[in-house]
Chain A
Amino acid sequence: MAQIRLSGSGGQGVITAAIILAEAAVREGKEAVQSQSYGPEARGGASKAEVIISDQPIYHPKVLVPELVLALTQAAADKYSKDLAVGGTLVIDTDLVPNPPNFPNIISIPITKLAVDKIGKSLFANIVALGALVKITELVDFETIKKAVAQRVPPATIDRNMQALQVGYDAVTK
């Protein structure tokens, strides 16, 4: 069972990214649940989305000990990385999390900057992040996440979203 948490501020698309990750897992025949919590605001505020992927039916629907936390803001990094598993991974946006929490395994990627520089809009940061997460976790095939993204985003943006996935994937050196 894999427990993943994606966090940021409202409007950064972490919930969408979490839904796409869970959809990709379902495409591969796995069990998956996705849930979220967010403040009353539509934009801003802390936003958290969680995905559990398993080969067995999933009952308790919330992440208890995340193996990976993605944080796209400083506030999210501070708030949502505290219960990370020993040996887990914290993935942060280099520029938006200037003061990384004290955690041994941090992967810092300029996610939003890559979205702006390579795709032209910060809007694609969540998909860049998704590409990176798939490379890091190997939870689903890269081809599967491509299909899941293509199905979820507006048709006119598919090409740029595919580029965003690739940019995120290539940003992780293994």
Chain B
Amino acid sequence: MSEARLIQGNEACAQGALAAGVRFFGGYPITPSTEIAETMAQKLPGLGGKFIQMEDEIASMGVVLGAVLAGQKALTATSGPGFSLKQELIGFAACAEIPIVIVNVQRVGPSTGQPTSPAQGDVMQARWGTHGDHPMIALSPWTVREAYDATILAVNYSERFRTPVILLMDEIVGHLREKVVLPELKDIEIYPRRVPKITRAEGYEPYRPDEDMVPNVADFGQGYHIHVTGLIHDETGFPSGSPKVTEDAIRRMHEKIMHVQDEITHFEEFFMEDAQYAVVAYGGTARTAYEAVRTAREHGLKVGMVRLMTIWPFADKIIKKTAKQVKAILVPELNYGQLVGEVERAAGGSARVKLLAKYNTEIFTPQELVEAIENLCAGVDE
């Protein structure tokens, strides 16, 4: 372990990306994500990497996909308005199976919204912002240390599944500085870029899936012929209009991730052993929720907490289990109500699900959440 330092969430994200082997950053600065670009601009040249500020967020998304296809691990970071602009090429990355991590440090929207204020309003955009059927992985850290760890995990998942991964940060964690001890680089697990296992002469096809359903697409310059397209394609990488090819491609795109759904849905449980009520929270809001749950426990209420780190795919299994255990679940969100719908779906009627929404630029106070927990336990609004 290195020594304890005061680090900002955005800086920890950038440090995590570097630890995971990211050596290319393309972006366009936007509050509250700018410190990620700043840190990458400071560090990348000294590591033999490249930092490039593009003319806008669309070009930023294009340039990182190009860097990935040319063999680099790459990162881009933005906030709401920029995240909207990146959506088309996020879909391209999903279809062409290009591993890339997009950081979205959420702020109040829609549109330019409230540039420096916290929100969690992009939960559904992270899932469905780009059109068409596609899977999505999105991770939402709650501490500065987890911003570091989740970025490494995001890079690893993008490489392992050859898919875009969203690091769904929020202003609370992005701008927070806290005491952190980072792990030694040698203790960090890195998923390397997938490489072809056979030669062209042996019949290599770039988009033929390996045993884990993920293709070993060669990087440009490795001696293989590669065709990259956003059209649905067959194993050769060239477009196909065949219904069977289309069905197989879309199914595999989902299944390569969903067959390990439980493995990649990370969560933590607190005070759940004897809980009769639960709070389900994520991101910066979970910090306040934790404090409120602890206070409610001191008041004698049998309440626990499930903290979701993986937002997408949704953690169906733990929510199902929690709903069977408790009478009611409170979902505090800094939006008008987004992830609460998924909690309701997964709960399947086993427990009452109550939303606590806030969208006025301010974060929850512990007192607000304690009162909401007290009301939940008292059955108010039932």
Residue pair A26, B116 in contact (C-beta under 8 Å): no
A60 contacts B177, CB within 8 Å? Answer: no
Contact B363–A36 (Cβ < 8 Å): no
Q: Say yes or no: is B5 at the interface (Cβ < 8 Å to chain A).
A: yes
Whether A61 contacts B290 by the Cβ 8 Å rule is no
Q: Is B136 an interface residue (CB 8 A)?
A: no
Q: What separation, in Å, do the CA atoms of A36 and B4 have in the docked complex?
A: 21
Contact B172 A64 (CB under 8 A): no
| Known contacts A23-B6, A58-B178; A38 and B116 CB within 8 A of each other | yes
Q: Which residues of A contact B31 (CB under 8 A)?
A: 40
Give the contact stretch, choosing among A27-35, A108-116, A163-171.
A27-35
Which chain A residues lie closer than 8 Å to B287 at the CB level?
59-61
Q: A34-B177, A40-B116, A61-B172 are in contact. Are A26 and B6 (CB under 8 A)?
A: yes
Q: How far is the CB of A62 from chain B (nearest CB, A)?
A: 6
Closest CB-CB distance, B296 to chain A, in whole Å?
14
Question: B6, A22: Cβ atoms under 8 Å?
Answer: yes
Q: Is the C-beta of A19 less than 8 angstroms from some C-beta in chain B?
A: yes
The residues of A that contact B256 with a CB separation of less than 8 Å are: none
Contacts of B4 in A (CB 8 A): 26, 29
Chain B residue contacts of A22, Cβ below 8 A: 6, 177
Given A23-B6, A60-B366, A33 contacting B176 (CB threshold 8 A):
yes
The complex places the Cα of A142 from the Cα of B95 at a distance, in Å, of: 58
Most buried by B among A19, A30, A34: A34
A59 to B284, CA, bound (A): 9
Which B residues touch A59, using CB under 8 A? Answer: 287-288, 290-291
Q: A30 contacts which chain B residues (CB < 8 A)?
A: 179
| A39 with B179: CB separation less than 8 A | no
B115 at the binding interface (Cβ < 8 Å): yes
Assess whether A137 is interfacial by the CB under 8 Å rule.
no
A35-B179 in contact (CB<8A): no
Asked if A34 contacts B366 (CB within 8 A), the reply is no
A105 part of interface (Cβ distance < 8 Å): no
Contacts A19-B6, A62-B363 given: A31-B291 contact, CB under 8 Å?
A: no
Decide if B222 is an interface residue (CB 8 Å cutoff).
no
Q: How far is the CA of A31 from the CA of B363 in the complex (A)?
A: 21
Q: Hey, which chain A residues are within 8 Å of B172, CB to CB? A: 35, 61
A41-62 CB contact bits vs B (8 Å, 1 = yes)? 0000000000000000011111
- How distant is the Cα of A35 from the Cα of B117 in the complex, in angstroms? 12
Q: How far is the CA of A123 from the CA of B245 in the complex (A)?
A: 66
In the complex where A34-B6, A59-B287 touch, is A64 in contact with B175 (Cβ < 8 A)? no
Taking CB atoms, residues of chain B closer than 8 Å to A31 are 178-179
Q: Does B375 contact A (CB under 8 A)?
A: no
Taken together as a complex, chains A and B put the C-alpha atoms of A72 and B200 apart, in Å, by 70
B365 contacts partner chain A, Cβ-Cβ < 8 Å: yes
Asked whether B116 lies within 8 Å of A34 as measured between CB atoms, the reply is: no
Which residues on A sit within 8 Å (CB–CB) of B176? 33-35, 61
Query: A75 CA to B214 CA in the complex, in Å?
Result: 58
Taken together as a complex, chains A and B put the C-alpha atoms of A40 and B31 apart, in Å, by: 9
Verify B366–A37 contact, CB threshold 8 A.
no
From residue A107, how far is it (CB to closest CB) to chain B in Å? 26
Say yes or no: A36 contacts B175, CB within 8 Å. yes
Query: Within residues 13 to 67 of chain B, which ones have a CB less than 8 A from any CB in chain A?
Result: 31
Among B172, B177, B287, B365, chain A packs the most CB atoms within 10 A around the CB of B177
A58 CA to B179 CA in the complex, in Å? Answer: 10
Query: Is A26 within 8 A of B363, CB to CB?
Result: no
**Contact indicator A37/B116 (Cβ below 8 Å):** yes
Chain B residues 152-192 with CB under 8 Å of chain A are: 172, 175-179
CA distance A104 to B176 in the complex (A): 32
A120 vs B115: C-alpha distance when bound (angstroms): 36
The docked-state distance in angstroms from the alpha carbon of A164 to that of B240 is: 71
Is the pair B179, A32 in contact by a Cβ cutoff of 8 Å? yes
Tell whether, in the assembled complex, residue B179 and residue A64 are in contact, meaning their CB atoms are under 8 Å apart.
no
A35 near B291 (CB under 8 angstroms)?
Answer: no
CB-CB < 8 A to B363: which residues of A?
A: 62
A–B Cβ pairs within 8 angstroms, 21 of them: A22-B6, A22-B177, A29-B4, A31-B178, A31-B179, A32-B6, A32-B178, A33-B178, A33-B179, A34-B6, A34-B176, A34-B177, A35-B172, A37-B117, A40-B115, A40-B116, A59-B291, A60-B288, A60-B291, A61-B287, A62-B363
Q: Which residues of B contact A (CB under 8 A)?
A: 4-6, 31, 115-117, 172, 175-179, 284, 287-288, 290-291, 363, 365-366
Taking A26-B5, A32-B178, A34-B176 as given, write out 10 further A-B residue pairs in contact, using a Cβ cutoff of 8 Å, ordered by the A residue number. A19-B177, A22-B177, A30-B179, A34-B6, A36-B175, A40-B31, A60-B291, A60-B365, A61-B176, A61-B178
